Amino acid sequence: GAFSHVWENEFIPRVRPDLVGVWNHEDMSRKLFDLLMTENHLDLQLDDDDLQLIGALVIGDRPAPRDRRKNFMFDIVSNQRNSVDVDKFDYLARDCYSMGLKSSYDCTRLMEFNKVLCVDGQWELCFAAKEVLNVYELFHTRFTLHKQVRQGGCVLQV
């Protein structure tokens, strides 16, 4: 739900201090995927390597890739290089909606104006230079939500 990072960084440490450093939403997302696959007997014809790759993509854990040209896939879900990823798009949209805030960045444009390029021998998801203001607005929205949600009076009182 909305405020997942508040849940992870503020609520869990106060209610379950034993889970600090152990529980995070990326690991929970991976476990939820595994549970959905198992309990629903989904036959997606995925082998163990595919399932491991999906789990690694969710948590941003880059194992030695079978094909270096596919390194960019780790930038999509949990980008450890610059943190511009669909996880951020998702929680910013939910949190802005829940707070009644407008966001001035456009994740659709970021998804449209990107390209996989080889940078210093690594294949990476890169954004068009004309999207620099949009990327700035993404982080500005994150900063604004951080100030209003995470450091706001009602969250700190929970």
Per-residue burial over 65-74, b = 16 or more CB atoms within 10 Å of its CB, e = otherwise: eeeeeebbbb
Looking at residue 127, its amino acid is: F
Residue among 55, 75, 53 nearest 66 (CA): 53
25, 41, 140, 146: which is the annotated catalytic residue? 25
| 130, amino acid identity | K
25 catalytic, yes or no? Answer: yes
Task: Say which DSSP state 70 is in.
Answer: G
How far apart, in whole angstroms, are the C-alpha atoms of residue 33 and residue 136? 32
- What are the residue numbers of the active site? 25
